[in-house]
């Protein structure tokens, strides 16, 4: 098992170019099934989860290749409707393929994705919505089978009880080739959903309202291929900004999605960092010590503070002057990184949904284990700013979401090696 060995203490400086978004790429790769044609994706990140998605596409009969950051997906002969259990287990996001496969073939068989590092991750909203669109759903021995008796889905009015990102994406994917109009109320508004919709519109889909809480999809007969550039990864961007905030120094983030990162940037600014964002660049400089964030940082669906950036910002605030408080409202088990930060000297108390971070003078290196993708990244943020050497094991979690992680940190002047 590989490890990251990080020696902290260097101030960071330099510029890095942000990777394409993981959470856009995965649903867009699923959406490519619907085109029955060749799609080319630019700025596709080289990540373990993207490789898993490519394996799912190939298992369905698509021809999918990834050369550099360009993915070519030819789905003209993809007739498969079953996602193999081993691939379902590789990645929770494989559930994204359900709506697309169902939209294309009228059938989909897959296994229950189960819980993950973030706690139980039910798919009740996905299934209830697909059932409203005509799917007959049965489950047997851990396998779920969805079948459209009329061969294709029909439009429906769906009100989500919570703006789930995955459920919103699955409904859209199933609706673009359905008969009639589908309306999603209380839809999730995450930028990655808008990116997937832009891709689908480039293929000929009729979707309105993405980015708002009411999305309307008018089913079309067929789609066609397209060339599409994936949006930048706002959470990877947040990670490198938080790292410079933790270590001190100055950096420029290029290819940044400034508007989409605003909910994170506006909170990071309260730590006293100087941040200047224009067009697709973000400059951050931290001179003196960080200040604690005075208001409670509540994770919320977009445009609220993103749950994916909670651990990352917490790692920086561990050495801020004063006390910061987080409230995690999206996932039940998203404080698993705190034990590692405490081992590194942080003063953190978790009480149910809340985590209270009393800033300490400095963190020190320790041997820690990445608990999940963002939790692992948070440990790296803390390690770059800490005194001494930190060994992070189980870095396969980090490799799921960060392209060339160690190269990025090295080019900012951080000391990190993969062993
Ligand atoms: N939920 C249900 N029932 C459902 C669906 C969701 O109860 O049918 C609950 C979940 O258990 C969770 C909450 O609703 O408590 C939010 O889940 P959501 O469906 O919005 O999340 P997701 O689609 O599973 C995506 C991202 C996550 C990100 C969340 C929230 C991808 C591939 N994953 O997950 O990203 O944290 O939205 O923004 O897009 C990450 O990148 O590290 C990551 C975990």
Pocket perturbation via mutation, ligand 1, pick of 19, 20, 21, 23 by most ligand atoms within 8 A of CB: 23
Q: How do the pLDDT tens digits run along the chain, 419 residues long?
A: 899 999 999 999 999 999 999 999 999 999 999 999 999 999 999 999 999 999 999 999 999 999 999 999 999 999 899 999 888 888 888 899 999 999 999 999 998 765 567 777 789 999 999 999 999 999 988 899 999 999 999 999 999 999 999 999 999 999 999 999 999 999 999 999 999 999 999 999 999 999 999 999 999 999 999 999 999 999 999 999 999 999 999 999 999 999 999 999 999 999 999 999 998 999 999 989 999 999 999 999 999 999 999 999 999 999 999 999 999 999 989 999 999 999 999 999 999 999 999 999 999 999 999 999 999 999 999 999 999 999 999 999 999 999 999 999 999 999 999 99
Distance CA 63, CA 16 (A): 32
Write down the pTM of the prediction: 0.97
CA of 374 to the centre of ligand 1 (A): 13
Tens digits of residue pLDDT in 348-365:
999 999 999 999 999 999
Instruction: State residue 51 phi and psi, 5-degree precision.
Output: -65, -40
**Nearest-CA residue for atom 44 of ligand 1:** 308
Token output for 209: 């309202």
CA-based Rg of the chain, rounded to a whole angstrom?
A: 21
* Catalytic positions: 116
**Nearest-CA residue for atom 19 of ligand 1:** 164
Distance CA 75, CA 226 (A): 12
CA of 204 to the centre of ligand 1 (A): 27
DSSP notation for 12-81: EEEEEEPPBPHHHHHHHHHHGGGGSSEEEEES----HHHHHHHHHHHHTT-EEEEETTEEEEE-TT----
The three-state secondary structure class of 257 is coil
Cβ pair 98, 129 in contact under 8 A: no
Rounded to the nearest angstrom, the gap between the alpha carbon of residue 256 and the centroid of all alpha carbons in its chain is: 15
CA of 97 to the centre of ligand 1 (A): 15
Residues with CB under 6 A from ligand 1: 23, 26, 93, 121-126, 162, 164-167, 188, 190, 192, 307-308, 330-331, 373-374, 401
Pocket perturbation via mutation, ligand 1, pick of 88, 90, 162, 377 by most ligand atoms within 8 A of CB: 162
Token output for 273: 């960092």
Delineate the domains of the chain, giving CATH numbers in brackets: 3-14+233-418 (3.65.10.10), 82-223 (3.65.10.10)
CA of 123 to the centre of ligand 1 (A): 10
Tens digits of residue pLDDT in 376-418:
999 999 999 999 999 999 999 999 999 999 999 999 999 999 9
């Amino acid at each position: 098992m590989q490890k990251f060995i990080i020696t902290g203490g260097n101030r960071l400086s330099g510029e890095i170019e942000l990777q394409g978004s993981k959470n856009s790429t995965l649903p867009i790769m699923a959406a490519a099934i619907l085109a029955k044609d060749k799609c080319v994706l630019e700025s596709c990140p080289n990540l373990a989860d993207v490789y898993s998605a490519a394996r799912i596409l190939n298992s369905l009969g698509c021809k999918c290749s990834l050369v550099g950051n360009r993915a070519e997906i030819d789905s003209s002969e993809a007739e498969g409707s079953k996602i193999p259990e081993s691939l379902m287990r590789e990645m929770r996001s494989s559930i994204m393929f359900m709506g697309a496969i169902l939209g294309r073939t009228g059938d989909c068989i897959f296994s229950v994705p189960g819980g993950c590092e973030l706690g139980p991750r039910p798919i009740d909203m996905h299934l209830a919505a697909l059932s409203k669109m005509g799917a007959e759903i049965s489950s047997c021995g851990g396998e779920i089978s969805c079948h459209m008796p009329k061969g294709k889905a029909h439009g429906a009015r769906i009100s989500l009880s919570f703006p789930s990102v995955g459920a919103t994406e699955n409904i859209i994917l199933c609706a673009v080739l359905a008969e009639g109009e589908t309306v999603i109320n209380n839809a999730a508004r995450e930028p990655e959903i808008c990116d997937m919709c832009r891709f689908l519109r480039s293929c000929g889909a009729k979707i309105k309202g993405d980015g708002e809480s009411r999305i309307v999809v008018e089913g079309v007969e067929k789609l066609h291929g397209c060339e599409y550039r994936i949006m930048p990864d706002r959470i990877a961007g947040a990670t490198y900004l938080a790292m410079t905030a933790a270590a001190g120094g100055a950096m420029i983030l290029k290819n940044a999605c400034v508007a989409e990162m605003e909910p994170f940037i506006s909170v990071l600014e309260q730590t006293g960092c100087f941040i200047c964002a224009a067009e697709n660049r973000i400059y951050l400089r931290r001179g003196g010590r960080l200040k604690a964030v005075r208001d409670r940082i509540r994770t919320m669906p977009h445009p609220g503070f993103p749950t994916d950036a909670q651990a990352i910002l917490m790692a920086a605030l561990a050495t801020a002057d004063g006390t910061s408080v987080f409230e995690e409202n999206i996932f039940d088990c998203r404080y698993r990184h705190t034990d590692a930060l405490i081992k590194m000297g942080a003063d953190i108390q978790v009480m149910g949904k809340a985590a209270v971070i009393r800033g300490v003078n400095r963190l020190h290196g320790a041997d820690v284990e990445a608990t999940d993708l963002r939790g692992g990244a948070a440990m790296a943020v803390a390690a770059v700013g800490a005194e001494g050497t930190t060994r992070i094991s189980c870095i396969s979690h980090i490799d799921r979401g960060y392209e060339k992680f160690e190269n990025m940190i090295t080019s900012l002047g951080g000391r990190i090696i993969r062993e």
